[in-house]
Structure 1
Amino acid sequence: MVKNIELCFDPALSYNADGKHVRDGLSTVLRTGNDLWLSCDERTTIERLTQTEAGHFEQHASFCLTDYLELPDKNNSEVDIEGMAQTEHYLWLIGSHSLKRKKPKHAGDAADQIKRLSKVKTDPNRFLLARVPIIQNKQTGRFELHKEHPHPNDAGHTLRAAKLQGNQSSSLLTDALKHDEHIGPFLSIPGKDNGFDIEGLAMQGNRIFIGLRGPVLRGWAIILEIEVEENERGELTLKQLTKKRPYKKHFLHLRGKGIRELRILDDDMYLLAGPTMDLDGAIYIYRWLDALKGAHEEKLVYHSELERLHEVPHGHGDESGKDKAEGLAIYDNETLLVVFDSPTDARKLGEHTVTANLVKVAG
């Protein structure tokens, strides 16, 4: 069963410097209590909406990440946030870590447009894995971000914003993956070319799961698992998880699809899976039952071991390239919420509202 729910944005907060509305580029979503946290590409902010008695999400607030974190390129380039998670009074977020190839333009000399296709660049802020203290305001009930804040349950401990060590072209994560036999060769390839491209983040305790839209290897998608620790300078570093590596790899046969988002409920993992590269095609929600039970070894999960729950609508025909499901949130114990990049006109209501989908997966 699928229902629509309205997300209503404030026009004063919704446009980036190029005039793109936040509702046109939603890439990830997370629910904390009555608040909904969303990110949009081409900016360095995250957005908060709050649910009203009518059931819609509105009361838009915007939080600039440079108020909490030292970004390599400050506000000059996008973070391309592709995943958010919450655990232990921290909001965690991750950038795509991907390279991008220039697009040819419709008009202009063919030779010039072919040359554009040879140019690969990155945004310096994309190599971000960070945490920011998130605390519920007892008076308003809303969750708020802080650069630092006393721990609500431990008077002797202070929560502080921090990020994984990195720079404008890499992070400790990509440095560790350079020599990986599966992923290393794809780090220099743009995300839309089946290169390295992060599009999902989920956590359970200290375990951090990172979903990859690419590379997809002979139909197998990849989830990375890491843990981090804080050094004496307040920076995050990677813990050693195996004898050789500070990460684990889990391979899931999604029949050629990459991962668009990850979510955890109890011991199950929910996956939003769709086409990799710059392709259109069916997008599905899968459930990996008991994914977090048992030993924490690397896993190879065949398609028959995954439960396909729902096909998410996507644009086709004249609307090809629209309604691309990008974000997945746990709405309640029986329902998931899906948000879309490049929504169709039918999904837009008025000038500043867009509908998301509520998908019942249990009960």
Structure 2
Amino acid sequence: MSVPYAERLARLRASLAQSQLDALLVSALPNVRYLTGFTGSNGLVLVTADDALLLTDFRYATQVKHEVAAEVRVAIEQMSLWTRLWKELKLLPRIEVLAFESAHVTHQDAARFVAEGGEGAGWKWRPALNLVEVLRESKDASELAHIRAAVQIAEHALARTLPQLRAGMTELAVAGLLEYEMRLAGSERTAFETIVAAGPRSALPHARASAQVIEKGDLLLFDFGATSGGYVSDITRTFIVGRAPDARQQEIHDVVREANGSASAAVRAGMRGRDADALARDYIERRGFGAAFGHSTGHGIGLEIHEAPRLAKTAEAPLAPGAVVTIEPGIYLEGWGGVRIEDDVVLTTDGPERLTTFERTLLQVG
């Protein structure tokens, strides 16, 4: 499936014109990839009204020939990308006011705009925030295809992993199995550091897999994702190890599952992030567990595991059509354990479509 780089660049140029900017220097690598296709670890992109230039180094001289969009010029620099940037800028006409990505530039690099490329050189630099990230919120068909593939890889790997689990294994061993199965299924990398948390440690929303031994009767929480074409999935399921759940475990899992299911069905494009957050939060509060749900209901996913939009109590921005968001309510009780269920949902013009299909009941494993 072809990637619409020309359309992405056109949308960015329209945003630059609206902001009265002659150019944008793109330094965040996910944004570089989104605009050009380049996947290397060192690159700058300069976008003007009628040009797009990728600067990178000699390590990628061959790679760029196969990756970079036809709409983008490439300059391979043997020494400093910044020195080359000033040279290239001098060759471009009618460039006066330029923006840089203020959320992604170090203080050291920002100082270059004053010391080397400031008004003495004829350019006026301005900080800009989220000019490309706003474009990335709505996924096109090529992006959705990769996210769907990342979901399928992750769910396939989970299905392969669960029959191998036994009480007595460590969280680290289980995480290793899951990551191995994702690699076998085609994941380019893990989407983030895999979370496997057992027993009381499942009450830690961002627990790292540890040497903790998994015991019979433990709640066992998985939070993980695969990567396909640079795009990620983000899935959470909670299981019970070695026996049927007790009444408390089943009750809390049922509350979280209901919050997840109702929010996944009701979330809509155009809804404010805070209202989307309330879809899950209000139900959990009505059931008496509001204080035990301390994080947001969800976030966008794509080239990064956390990107726009936000589904949080303080998020006023509306959810864009085409966004892919997580719905991940949870209840966490210190010393007892926690339950989280997370699905990936695309906000189509016809309503939400849940991409994740893995069973949401409290399955017994091991």
- Which TM-score applies when normalising by structure 2? 0.22
Structure (1 or 2) with the greater strand fraction: 1
State the structure with more CA Rg. 2
